[in-house]
Amino acid sequence: MAKSKKLKVYGGCLDGRNRVIVGAYTKAEAAQLLGTNLRYFNMYVSPTGNQREVDLCTENPLTVFSKEAHNYRPDAEYIKNS
């Protein structure tokens, strides 16, 4: 079934060590995919404008990716979590 809403890409650091990104159609859906509640999600996750992250999540909607939060290398790869 096709979604009528636009995919949004969210990114944040939930555990203090890893940056997570996910493409979802709603905040609630993104929070569920990340395994957290909306209150915690709203404190630590926000929409991302990073084009590399947007491209990755657009190609793989409803999939969680992560990488070390303190790895600032621009070529650092994201790991598929789900």
Residue 38, classed as helix, strand or coil, is helix
Q: How confident is the model at residue 2 (pLDDT cuts 50, 70, 90)?
A: low
Strands 45-47 and 8-13, how do they pair?
Answer: antiparallel
**Domain ranges in the chain?**
8-70
pLDDT at 1: 47
CB atoms within 10 A of CB 33: 18
Residue 35 has pLDDT above 60, yes or no: yes
Residue 51 has pLDDT above 60, yes or no: yes
pLDDT at 82: 60
> What's the pTM value of the predicted model, to 2 decimals?
0.87
- Within its chain, how far is the Cα of 40 from the centroid? 14
